[in-house]
Amino acid sequence: MPLVFLLYALIASVFTIGKNVLNYADPFFIIGVRMFIAGTLILGYQFWRHRDSFKFNKKHWIDILILATVNIFITNVCEFWALNHLSSAKTCLLYSTSPFISVLLSYVILSEKMSPIKWLGLLIGFIGFFPILMMQSAGEETAFLFFSWPELAMIVAATTSVYGWILLRKLVTKSDVSFMIANGYSMLFGGIMTLGYSGIMETWDPFPVTAWWPFIQNSLALLLISNLICYNLYGFLLKRYTATFMAFAGLSTPLFAALFGWAFLGEHIPWQFWLSLTIISSGLSIFHRQEVKSVHLTEGA
């Protein structure tokens, strides 16, 4: 049990560290460097330990490039751009739309059935995001209805992240491409794409970095926590706990992000944040109770 909450505390710390590293370098350069190094390390390890895994059908290169574009490039560019304009706690809370987006994508793409109770839980969950979305800081320009551009970017990041995991799972289960190879190449290519985008959008003079040592320290922390520890720890915990329990435990992530943002970044956590988190938790609880009930009925049939 402690390892589960350690995992989500580490995930929350990614938003805090990510917010901090933006003080020392431009966002797209940060992403590009981190993903390029992470992809290189993963592929290097595979080449050393499992060299045969590099032999796969060449037609899957297109799938890997699509995965790199969706799951690495678009997701991280939108996330870090939003993080540059929002508090770490708000960014993390908006990223918590992922379970609800996953359900909708499964309904649309995989034709999974939804009961009225599940729809109710989903609706309550989405309503829960309204209080935090309607509270905007001075730097947030309204783009659509009560959404600001950074908020929309964060929702896009959550959507492409979920879709990226669907693409990744489809690739590794229906082809001869291993999980590590798909992940390594997608990070490598996604990092190259983001560095290219950084060269176009950010000022390189000679690099978009204002303080190298803090940039290196924070980037290494992100690389270690996000790309190495969380990735492996999540896979380990999924073998010990149900997906339902992990989803509920994941609601602790915005709590940790709020705590870290307050303690290390001096962020103010408004009451709208706590209201949103409470309503979202209620919606997810209703949804998963019905899901567990459906599983028990199916097993008993």
Burial of 265 (0-12, 13-18, 19+ CB in 10 A): middle
Total residues found in the chain within this entry: 301
The pLDDT value recorded for residue 188 is: 97
3-state secondary structure of 209: strand
Q: What is the pTM of this model?
A: 0.83
Phi, psi of 141 (to 5 degrees): -90, 130
The listed range with the strongest mean pLDDT (17-21, 55-59, 226-230) is 17-21
Cα separation, 168 vs 301, in Å, equals 33
Domain layout of the chain by residue ranges = 2-300
Q: Show the DSSP H helices in the chain as ranges.
A: 2-21, 27-49, 61-67, 75-83, 88-95, 98-109, 116-127, 130-134, 149-173, 179-201, 212-222, 231-238, 243-249, 252-264, 271-300
Instruction: Render pLDDT for 2-53 as a digit per residue (tens, 0 to 9).
Output: 888 899 899 999 999 999 999 999 999 999 999 999 999 999 999 999 999 9
The pLDDT value recorded for residue 165 is: 81
Residue with tokens 């303690």, as numbered in its chain: 263
Percent with pLDDT over 90 in the chain: 42
The pLDDT value recorded for residue 136 is: 60
Which pair of tokens denotes residue 201? Answer: 């959008």
The pLDDT value recorded for residue 294 is: 61
Instruction: Render pLDDT for 236-248 as a digit per residue (tens, 0 to 9).
Output: 786 777 655 666 6
Instruction: Render pLDDT for 113-139 as a digit per residue (tens, 0 to 9).
Output: 778 888 888 888 888 888 877 776 545
Q: How far is CA 140 from CA 31, 78, 146, 150, in A?
A: 22, 15, 11, 7
- Would you say residue 143 has pLDDT above 60? no
Mean pLDDT of the chain: 86
